[in-house]
Amino acid sequence: MDPLAPGEFRSETVYLNTASYGLPPARALASVAAVTERWAGGYGSPSTHDDQVETLRASFARLLSGATADDVAIGHGVGSLIGPAAVALPPGAEVLVPEDDFASVPNPFRYRGDLIVRAVPLARLAEEVRPQTALVAASVVQSADGRAIDPAELRAVTRANDAWLLLDATQAAGWLPLRFDDADFWVCATFKWLLGARSVSLLAVHPSIADAVRPVSPGWYAAADRWAEMYAPQRLSDTVRRLDDTPDWLGVVYSVAGLRLIEELGVEAIGRHNRALATRFRDGLTELGLPSIAGDSPIVTLPGAGEFADRLAESGIVTSARDGGLRVSFHVHNGSDDVERALKALAQN
């Protein structure tokens, strides 16, 4: 199996670490270089590229089937974008989270100080939702080991208990088809599977609950007419854009290029490609007698094998150590040769 977009990437390593940081596509580097040249020449200003924010919103909305650009806010990090959901809950409300989820998901609720945050095993998340649960917050795909939830199943249970559902799609968007109606809140960092910038994250809020969510500390960019009201008392946007933070325009230009590549290749095609490589890798691990966490995602984790990450790096194979395990992840720039090289290196360790 060949890489899906070989001409877009120039890695000099066997890069199996998209779950940490996606490789930059050539088109993204070219876009940023062009903007930087104009900036260095004194021809650029923030407003010059502000239209790209709207392009980015629309691209992310298309990845969330059923969403529109007006449902999407832009920010820098997942934790801060979750803030408005945390603030919207009444004191003493119960928030249900999976044990060992990535810290950005539970932290805004845990450190508000007056909420009840209950952590349960991921496999029991749906069955642990109860009438007193106000909100369930979880990653669609777990960062540490690639285990996934079923958003539709969890959505049905939260609706039955009149609870909100917040899903972090950071490790899923770009290879897994997602439906907007399957959650009340969607948050996503763009710098992994969406091949975007570290400085750009996105939040989508379902219209059914959007009126109940207000910004925590709105800046000038949250205004209805931000460029005309920079110094006067502002009227906040009537849409989810009122949750915007001032964007990094250079990061937005970069992220637009990355999402454009994802859309051109197609999420379903990317998912098939990535999963096929991960399946071949899991099968090879079994043949080597090396156990891995069961699953059907592009993230493959070998429990207790985190020390292998440094050894593989010596062979030019980039992975990561997470929660004591070796984490390997496959994306559009990878092919069968990468799988075989990784398996060969592991066989020698």
- Across the chain, which has 349 residues, the per-10-residue mean pLDDT values are 92 97 97 93 83 97 97 97 97 98 97 97 97 98 96 98 98 98 98 98 97 93 91 90 96 98 98 98 96 95 95 96 96 97 92
| pLDDT for 347 | 92
Tell me how far apart the alpha carbons of residues 119 and 95 are, in angstroms, rounded to a whole number.
9
The class (CATH top level) of 14-25+267-348 is alpha beta
Geometric angle at alpha carbon 65, from 103 and 223, rounded to 5°: 70
- The two three-digit tokens of residue 128, written as one number: 């642990």
Tell me how far apart the alpha carbons of residues 337 and 241 are, in angstroms, rounded to a whole number.
44
| pLDDT for 47 | 74
Q: Which CATH architecture has domain 29-264?
A: 3-Layer(aba) Sandwich (3.40)
| pLDDT for 58 | 98
* Burial environment of residue 118 by CB neighbours within 10 A (0 to 12, 13 to 18, 19 or more): middle
Choose among 247, 343, 334, 333: nearest CA to 290. 343
Domain residue extents for the chain: 14-25+267-348, 29-264
